[in-house]
Amino acid sequence: MRSLKRLKITESIESKKLVFEEETFDKFDTITIYFGFSVMAGITLLVLKDIERSLNNALEFSILICLFIFSGYVLYCKFTEKYLKEIPFTISKEEAKKRIIEYGKRHHYKISKVSANLIFLNEPSDIYSLGKECEQTTIVFFKNNAILYTLIKEGQRSNFTVLVSQHLTRRDFKKLLHPQYTEPIKRETYFNSFFHGL
């Protein structure tokens, strides 16, 4: 898990942003990602400006547009990485915490830092980590009637930003915290799963 030195829980909840002491590597890593993807977006724009729009250049034009959009999306995700997303709920805070812990167990997360207002859900994130265990961490803060959460990633060479799983996690948490939510049926075999699906 990424080192979150002296994470300030109350300040993080009040400001809706992770408040902690960043290490030098994390600062350098952030600057590197900003610089690299800003340069990529800039070069892509310059090349796009010089390409004539025609059927012959459609493939190149499409690739460059996709590269520009991807660069912008990476920069946006990195910029908002420390900002906490809010999901309100109407169930009790204890019930919300219980459901999130059960969700973590069901999806084989390593659950840590469980306290009155905080839970960390850790999962392996880098299959090419060459023996070093790297993780993606979902940090969940609890207010009286809402959770505040963000996802941060640790890698061997770079703490690259989370691109897709933040949207999947938001969808899961919204379902999980809905008053009508029921635990999914555990289907142990293909045979049982086939007959439950009918």
Q: Which domain CATH number covers 171? A: 3.30.530
What's the confidence (pLDDT) of residue 21? Answer: 85
Is residue 3 domain-resident? no
Residue 170 shares a structural domain with residue 92: yes
Query: Same domain for 111 and 123?
Result: yes
Average pLDDT value for residue range 60-76: 93
What's the predicted TM-score (pTM) here?
A: 0.78
Q: Are residues 149 and 174 in the same domain?
A: yes
Q: Are residues 57 and 89 in the same domain?
A: no
3-state secondary structure of 89: coil
Asked whether the predicted pLDDT for residue 70 surpasses 60, the reply is yes
| pLDDT digits 0-9 by tens, 143-198 | 889 999 999 887 666 777 888 888 889 999 999 999 887 776 554 444 444 444 44
The pLDDT of residue 76 is above 90 = yes
Q: Are residues 36 and 119 in the same domain?
A: no
- 77: in domain: yes
Question: pLDDT, tens digit, for every residue of 173-188?
Answer: 999 999 887 776 554 4
| Average per-residue pLDDT for the chain | 83
* 17-32 pLDDT tens trace: 999 888 888 888 889 9
Q: Is residue 13 part of a domain?
A: no
Give me the pLDDT at residue 195, please: 44
- What is the reported pLDDT for 73? 94
Q: In what order do the strands lie in the sheet with 118-124?
A: 85-88, 146-153, 135-142, 118-124, 110-112
Task: Tally the domains of the chain.
Answer: 2
183 shares its domain with 98: yes
Q: Is residue 162 a contact partner of residue 111, using CB atoms and an 8 Å limit?
A: no
Would you say 87 and 103 are in contact if contact means Cβ atoms under 8 Å apart? no
End residue of a domain, out of 36, 60, 81? 81
Q: In this structure, are 88 and 50 located in the same domain?
A: no
Which range marks the domain in which residue 139 is found?
Answer: 83-198
